[in-house]
Structure 1
Amino acid sequence: MRRLGAGRSCHDVGLMSGHAESLASNPVADIAFTAPARCLIGRGAKDQVAALVRERGQKVLVLRSASVLWADVLIEELDTLGAQVTSLTARGEPTVDQVRDAVARARASAAECIVAIGGGAVIDLGKAVSGLCVSEGDVLDHLGLGPDPAPKLNAPLPFVAIPTTAGTGAEATRNAVIGVPEQGLKISLRDPRLVPDLAVVDASLTDGLPKSLTLSTGLDALTQLIESYLSNRANPVTDALARGMIGPAAAALQTLMTREDETARDTLAKASYLSGLALANSGLGIVHGLAAVIGSRGGAHGAICGRLLPAALTVNHAALIKAGRPTARCEEIERWLQDGLGMSLRPFIDRHGLASLGALHCGPPLWEETARNALSASSTQANPVRLSVAEVHQILKLSS
């Protein structure tokens, strides 16, 4: 379990193959694809959840966001089907203490299946509980903070992830970000078996989300698609996922900044899930490397990513030219964003009130330290080109 700086940007990566541009000289791509065993996508998918959960066990622990009223409906349906349900409301991003409490509840109820309903933080909590409640030792042991290597998790309980925001893609990944407040850290618990057994992506659960939350989570999904496409570990499968979704995701986000629209919600929910698949199998880049560091100081992860993305694209493009590397992907992305948003990304995020870098706890005095720390973040290792501290510092300056 690797230590990470902070934030929900700390995702796992799965593949080591090169860009499509390099496949001509090395035509064999070795791909081992990570994904949930099953995914239901579409409006009305939530209506099938109770029966599918019941198939996975009689004793069910439901982790939920307080604001998601549909969770009450699911619990009633599970009761009708004869399930013994224990419900726990999750608040904020999971901390060590919250994970301990949820693990204790799972063990006390002899849970046979874990269900998480909410945003990425709730889904991460569910992943952690599904693995830790059947494993020996404390959560801190498994985060690798001590002198000894982290023990291996036992086979996790069946886990069902039901996102109610469209952005993190946590329902498709194999890591759970856990905060250690006393040390100012967030650490990613990773195991390939933490990928949900079932992901249920029903955009009706995102209908009517506030504009600010739609913007920040949508930018998270968009950043994950873009960084996966630019990643030095990209492969033909992740290329297909990202290439076909960046433009539609941008257009859907633009629509939702002006009006509520079911079709746009459907597109953004799909984009979020596919972005999770892409990042889990290709890695990310400098935006998420920076977000890992900045996130330790607070601020919404999606807002951090969205604020950094325009400058990161500019700096990466220049660095690729300097290194004599192909830039076609950068130019494709710029075109897709322009077409989808009706303008460049920076004016779009400013027009719709995305938080400034200073408001996200990264003012100029912190730029040098942030740039240096971001270069060692796990996400940065998949950036399409190696950047210098000065170049990362430039991303922060251009983002201000």
Structure 2
Amino acid sequence: MSARPFEFTSPPRIVFGEGTLAQAGGIVASLGTRALVVEGSSGRAAPLVALLRAAGVEPAALLRVPGEPTTALVEEGVALARRARCDVVVALGGGSVIDAGKAVSALLTNPGEPLDYLEVVGRGTPLAERAAPFVAIPTTAGTGAEVTRNAVLLVESARVKVSLRSPLMLPAVALVDPELTYTVPPDVTASTGLDALAQCLEPFVTPHATPLTDAVAREGLRRAAGALRRAVADGADVAARRDMAVASLCGGLALANAKLGAVHGFAAPLGGMFPLPHGVACARLLAPVVRANVNALRRDETRAGTHDALARYDEAARLLTGDPGARADDAAAWLADLADALGIPPLAAYGVAPSDVPEVVAQARRASSMQGNPVVLTDVELGDVLRAAVGARG
């Protein structure tokens, strides 16, 4: 990695550790007095609401996020928060819940609607004002959304998921309590955990990597490789849950400061076109994308310019497998075996068919994440990747 200029941003405060949810009341009270509480459909916010009240914060409004956050849901949340005169937003949940809260906090202080600011299908107007104070409390180890500066929203009219993105959207505080993940079921632990792993691997092999993103990506890869199977097998494995929470945090920090790649380039349109959980999409795309990138680079390494992508895939293979002699091909095989072992369904289980490949490939080319891939894949190569994920052949 050359010493080219770079920057690294993160929330002003990250609080990590078992039992740290108990600090939520005091943290939110330092930022505001009337809170919009954002939660998922499972209704787990009652302990948080009690902590807020005990700290003198009024939970003035509640927004439930039943699935993927849509632009309509964000507009509803903004209206709700304004009516209740909320001056702080706190989200407790997975990536969808946190992204919804992040988007609401951004539009509380900026006029207009989400499409004014969304990339790809929106007008892409930059936010002018810093988002309202936002506290992110993840309950899954997956997206790392608690430390990123974007919110992924579903635009139903366009059947695509795109980002509202700005450095002014960073959460004021990320509160990561691994205890909140203990009750996550095995299938969700598996898919979200593979998303976390992908978000450490893609920023590690992108040409936009920096020495700091390399450091957190390496740590995340090492922890996820050792902990994910254990966390799925035994949700009460405290050390495994902690390592996965760290891996998710590392992935969020890495992607927020480098870029992702073809895995997430595909996941965005797939999530808008099919009832496909983001983690499942990433889990099934990960091995085929690694294999396609490695094969393309071996055929013509100049396609990556001066970036040492093959060497980085070799290093990733050593981190994942623990084998000091592992090479890039071993990484793809290991990832395919892991997805199979964890029971990740093929994309066909969610209605994705080979006939959908051309449209999805065309949409994926427009996705911002695709710009971070270490090599520009052809439409034929992208099609092969997607067909492999549809049939769950790594």
TM-score by length of 2: 0.90
Question: 1:257 is paired with a residue of what secondary structure?
Answer: helix
Q: C-alpha separation between the residues in 1 aligned to 2:120 and 2:368? A: 17
Change (3 A) 1:147 1:37: closer
**What whole-Å deviation, never above 9, does each CA across 1:212-238 have from its counterpart, x for those lacking one?**
000010000000100010111011111
> For residues 151 and 309 of structure 1, what CA distance do their matches in structure 2 show?
31
Distance 2:160 2:266 in 1: 14
Equivalent in the alignment of 1:350: 340
- Counterpart for residue 94 of structure 1: 69
Between the aligned partners of 2:188 and 2:265, the Cα distance in structure 1 is 22
CA–CA distance in 1 between the matches of 2:119 and 2:182?
39
1:382 aligned to 2:372?
A: yes
CA positional deviation for 1:146: 8.9
- The equivalences for 1:15-94 within 5 A come to 20=1, 23=2, 28-67=3-42, 69=44, 71-86=45-60, 87-94=62-69
Residue of structure 2 in register with 1:328 after alignment: 311
Kept in 2: contact 1:167–1:220 (CA 8 A): yes
- Pick which of 128-137 and 273-282 moved more: 128-137
Work out the CA distance in 1 between the residues paired with 2:31 and 2:136.
13
What does residue 295 of structure 1 align with?
271
| Aligned counterparts of 1:166 and 1:146: Cα–Cα separation in 2 | 29
RMSD: 2.1
Partner of 1:3 in structure 2? none
Secondary structure of residue in 2 paired with 1:311: helix
Please tell me whether the aligned partners of residues 294 and 361 of structure 1 are also in contact (alpha carbons under 8 angstroms).
Answer: no
Structure 1 Cα separation of the partners of residues 162 and 153 of structure 2: 5
Of the two structures, which has the highest relative contact order with CA contacts closer than 8 Å and spacing of 6 or more?
1
Contact 1:63–1:122 (Cα < 8 Å) also in 2: yes
1:360: how far off?
Answer: 3.4
Residue type at the aligned position of 1:316: N
The superposition leaves residues 147-171 of structure 1 with CA deviations (integer Å, 9 ceiling, x where unpaired) of 9663634221111000001000100
Q: Comparing 170-179 with 369-378, which one deviates more in the overlay?
A: 369-378
The verdict on how the C-alpha distance between 1:66 and 1:295 changes in structure 2, with shifts beyond 3 A counting, is closer
| 135, 148, 154: which one aligns with 2:110 | 135
- 1:367 partnered with 2:357: yes
What displacement does 1:202 show? 0.5
Please give the per-residue CA displacement for 1:75-117, whole angstroms capped at 9, x wherever unaligned. Answer: 1122122222122222112112211111011111111111011
- Asked if the contact 1:46/1:202 (under 8 Å) is kept, the reply is yes
TM-score by length of 1: 0.88
Distance 1:268 1:146, change over 3 A: closer
Identity %: 40
**Are the equivalent residues in 1 in contact too, given 2:229–2:342 (CA < 8 A)?**
no
Match of 2:384 in 1: 394
Deviations 1:30-86 (A, max 9, x none): 1211211100011121111101110111111111124253x2122112212222212
C-alpha separation in 2, matches of 1:295 and 1:94 = 11
Distance 1:50 1:132 in 2: 24
* Mapping 1:198-347, distance limit 5 Å: 198-260=173-235, 261-296=237-272, 297-324=274-301, 326=308, 327-339=310-322, 344-347=334-337
1:290-324 superposed Cα distances (whole Å, 9 cap, x missing partner): 11121122201111111011111111111111223
Residue 326 (structure 2) aligns with = none
Distance in 1 (alpha carbons) for counterparts of 2:25 and 2:79:
24
Going from structure 1 to structure 2, the CA distance change for 1:391 and 1:147 (only over 3 Å counts) comes to closer
**Which amino acid is 1:373 matched to?**
Q
- Measure how far apart 1:197 and its partner are: 0.6
Q: Deviations over 1:99-143 (max 9, x none)?
A: 111101111111111101101111111111111122222333333
